[in-house]
């Protein structure tokens, strides 16, 4: 059971690649089999930026060297039915030589063209 008195802080990561950021990397969740941006909850003794690096390593097996870029903060109380969550969303650009693979919570890592994103089913508000 989670405390519903204050929001939990989560990070979500929009991972792109390609010369013009034309590819989007998503994970297929083990629990729902839906596609989602990579992410997770910030642990007690870590920064949101460190959580981004940790989650990318855990879920895709990649070490990032560049700092993640903050994209926005999403805090609609209805965005996640499981618990009250505020998400800091970051953008990370993968190098062409990167070869992500599923690990930890991810069932699959999927690379889709930006032009195709409307053709998939997503977890919660990840569309």
Quick: pLDDT tens for 22-42: 889 998 887 887 888 899 999
DSSP 28: E
What is the rounded average pLDDT of the residues 88-110? 84
pTM recorded for the entire structure:
0.84
- Residue 123 has a pLDDT of 62
- Ordered DSSP codes for 56-101: HHHHH-----SPPEEEEEE--TTS-SSS-EEEEEEEEEPPTT----
Structure-model confidence comparison of residues 44 and 121, the more confident one: 44
Q: What is the mean pLDDT of the chain?
A: 84
Q: Is pLDDT at 105 greater than 70 in this prediction?
A: yes
């Amino acid at each position: 059971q989670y405390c519903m008195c204050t929001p939990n802080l989560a990070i979500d990561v929009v991972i792109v690649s390609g010369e013009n950021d034309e590819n989007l990397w998503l994970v297929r969740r083990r629990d729902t089999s839906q596609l989602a941006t990579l992410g997770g909850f910030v642990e007690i003794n870590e920064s949101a930026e460190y959580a981004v690096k940790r989650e990318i390593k855990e879920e895709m097996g990649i070490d990032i060297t560049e700092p993640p870029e903050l994209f926005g903060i999403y805090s609609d109380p209805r965005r996640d039915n499981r618990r009250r969550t505020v998400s800091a969303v970051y953008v990370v650009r993968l190098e062409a030589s990167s070869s992500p693979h599923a690990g930890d919570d991810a069932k699959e890592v999927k690379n889709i063209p930006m032009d195709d994103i409307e053709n998939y089913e997503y977890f919660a508000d990840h569309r």
